Chain A
Amino acid sequence: MTTTTPTPTANLPVRGRRSPLASVALHVTLITASVIAVFPVLWVLLTSLKPAQYATTTDFFKETTLANYTNLLNDTPFLTWFANSLLVAGLTTVIGVFISATTGYAVSRFRFPGKRGLMWTLLITQMFPVAVLIVPIYNIMASMGLLNQPVGLVITYLTIAVPFCAWMMKGFFDTIPREIDESGYVDGLTPFGTFWRLILPLAKPGIAVTAFYSFITAWGEVAYASAFMVGDENLTLAGGLQKFVNQYGAQWGPMAAASVLIAIPAALVFLFAQRHLVTGMSAGAVKG
């Protein structure tokens, strides 16, 4: 780090003799890739703005209207599902970030009996197929009275999100110098105090990524959501949308409108997190 340019591109080779042709090729590659990445989502957005009977036409615009949206909000329990999903995903994110941060910190900083076992468990947990767990978890939730309760889903989602998040947070904490912890101890802070007051504020990029990952996991999960929640007023969006297809005979128009509205909160969380995504992920994954 002898060159102290503040931009993140500081480590790039300063060659600057790329021919104009190469530049054009780079832009063409990037534009093609971006179009492929964005198009399916954009197409749903365009479809949602067409009258329902024209949903399957291939015109980009046709009698642009918001009818699908008003129909969705007024005539279906969409808003209830939306609120349920928001509650479940919000709780999963807050709790998930907190416990994966404490776990990641403990694994990163302390040597303790059972540490290696825990690391392995976190890795192995990700190999568990939904199909094996879903019936036994259903039974557990039923016996604890947590079926149809947001809490039941939150606990289940934590088991999906936390292992990966804890790994990532561990990698991120590994990049924060230990001297900072030492200074905390010397000043009389407890290990938890050190973690909370000194380390956590430094780990913001890692936290942003963890929050993003937990939120997206909980917001988009389908299998558990459709198995655990029944009854119109308890469904989350994933389950609700499925029901919606059957009940109203796969109407593409309202479906598309619902998809757009579902994507908005995820996009907001993403916007908030994306600034930190590269920093956070690399630290987490490099040391993983």
Chain B
Amino acid sequence: MAVDTPSQSVVKAAGDDVARGRSRGTGKPRRAAKKRSLSTHWYAWAMVAPVTVVIAVIIGYPLVRGVYLSLTNANERNVARSIGVNEIPATYEFVGLDNYADAITGGQFLGTLGWTVLWTVSCVAITFALGLSLANVLNRRIAGRSVYRMLLILPWAVPGFVSVFAWRFLYNQDNGLLNKILTGGGIDGVPWLNDPTWAKFSVILVNVWLGIPFMMVALLGGLQSIPGELYEAAEMDGANAWQRFRHITMPGLSSVSTTVILLSTIWTFNMFPVIFLLTRGGPGEATQILVTQAYKFSFEISPRDFAQSSTWGVLILVLLMIFAAIYQRVLRKQGEVW
């Protein structure tokens, strides 16, 4: 909306200029066009160069190295390192696909994968449902709308580690506010983070709390871009509230929803900080998702197992790429342009 006023005047100016340019440049249009396309490529490449270089160096190389490590038996004891002045060369060996075979046939990877999928699906589904309802409510004329909107977006504005700290504080089994309230009401305190099942529930709750603002803002933007005339027309034709939602709101939101669902699925699947700071994957390994477990392999166990960590990392990447490809294909079949 903010763009409207300036852009209209510029468009008008642009129209004038195009007219002038056309009358002037009738001489050699084709050569001019070709020349411009060359220079355009040059500019395009120059403009994307910084991103490309940074991604290639900071992501590309580590990725290649990670894939290589996943094919070896590298760990803390056999990688190149220096102790004092002595340089000890690397002694790890190439083991082919052994690590992958171990991961896929062993119970640990599949078990962790199962919980990771459950975590991702429940987080994304609940966040989307609540985000959509709140966006719908906020899209009505209602007193204090902007105040509500600001309060609801607040969890997004607070740094993640601060929010997680706040939640740990609330969840605290002996002194936390939640349990004080429960015991005050005559109910036994709940071991929020100390019981495997409750811990799973608690981490999902926190992640939903963190994720709603993004979802809500994106969907609210989508709702505001649906023309009001459609609703009026539907109402004239006697459509009820559900029918209006089903046949106007949902199609109108489909493009923004597909994007935010894809993004938040990827983000949730790899949501390191929430799990790491809230439970460190515990109790036991109950809330460990693939990413935190891979981190644990390379930083928290002894000897640090770089090969296994990389293997899990590569598998995460492969799974997400398969997911994105299927997602895109399904959307294409439904005629979505993405």
Interface residues of A, Cβ cutoff 8 Å to B: 1-3, 8-16, 18, 23, 26-27, 29-30, 33-34, 36-38, 40-41, 43-44, 47, 56, 58, 99-100, 102-103, 105-107, 109-110, 112-115, 118, 121-137, 139-140, 155-156, 158-159, 162-164, 166, 175-177, 179-180, 182-183, 185-187, 190-192, 195, 198, 201-202, 204-205, 216, 219-220, 222-223, 227, 237-238, 241, 252, 255-256, 259, 262-263, 266-267, 269-270, 274, 276-279, 281-283, 285-288
Complex: A26 Cα to B144 Cα, angstroms: 12
In the complex, what residues of B have CB within 8 A of residue A180's CB?
7, 10-11, 14
In the complex, what residues of A have CB within 8 A of residue B159's CB?
216, 219-220, 237-238, 262-263, 266
Complex: A121 Cα to B161 Cα, angstroms: 28
Interface size class of B (residues with CB under 8 A): 35 or more
Do B43 and A106 touch across chains, with their CB atoms under 8 A apart? yes
CB nearest neighbor in A for B317: A127
- Decide if the interface of chain A is mainly helix, strand, loop or mixed: helix
- Closest approach, in angstroms, between the C-beta of B50 and any C-beta of chain A? 5
- Closest approach, in angstroms, between the C-beta of A228 and any C-beta of chain B? 12
With an 8 A cutoff between CB atoms, is B266 at the interface?
yes
CB nearest neighbor in A for B53: A99
15 example contacts (A-B, Cβ-Cβ < 8 A) are as follows A13-B228, A23-B142, A27-B142, A37-B209, A40-B167, A56-B175, A107-B48, A112-B44, A127-B321, A128-B270, A130-B295, A202-B10, A223-B295, A255-B165, A278-B220
Q: Which of B161, B180, B298, B324 contacts A220 (CB 8 A)?
A: B161
Do B2 and A279 touch across chains, with their CB atoms under 8 A apart? yes
Q: Which of B6, B256, B314 contacts A132 (CB 8 A)?
A: B314
Sample of 13 further A-B pairs with CB below 8 A, known A220-B161, A223-B276, A274-B150:
A13-B232, A16-B141, A23-B142, A30-B138, A56-B175, A110-B41, A127-B320, A131-B272, A132-B294, A132-B310, A133-B62, A180-B7, A274-B153
- Closest approach, in angstroms, between the C-beta of B133 and any C-beta of chain A? 8
A12-B62 contact given A112-B40, A285-B221, CB 8 Å threshold: no
A43-B177 contact given A162-B54, A255-B165, A277-B153, CB 8 Å threshold: yes
- Closest approach, in angstroms, between the C-beta of A130 and any C-beta of chain B? 5
With an 8 A cutoff between CB atoms, is B15 at the interface?
yes
Do B256 and A44 touch across chains, with their CB atoms under 8 A apart? no
Do B235 and A13 touch across chains, with their CB atoms under 8 A apart? yes
Do A44 and B317 touch across chains, with their CB atoms under 8 A apart? no
Complex: A10 Cα to B224 Cα, angstroms: 9
List which B137-192 residues lie within 8 A (CB) of chain A: 137-144, 148, 150-163, 165-167, 169-170, 172, 175, 177, 180-181
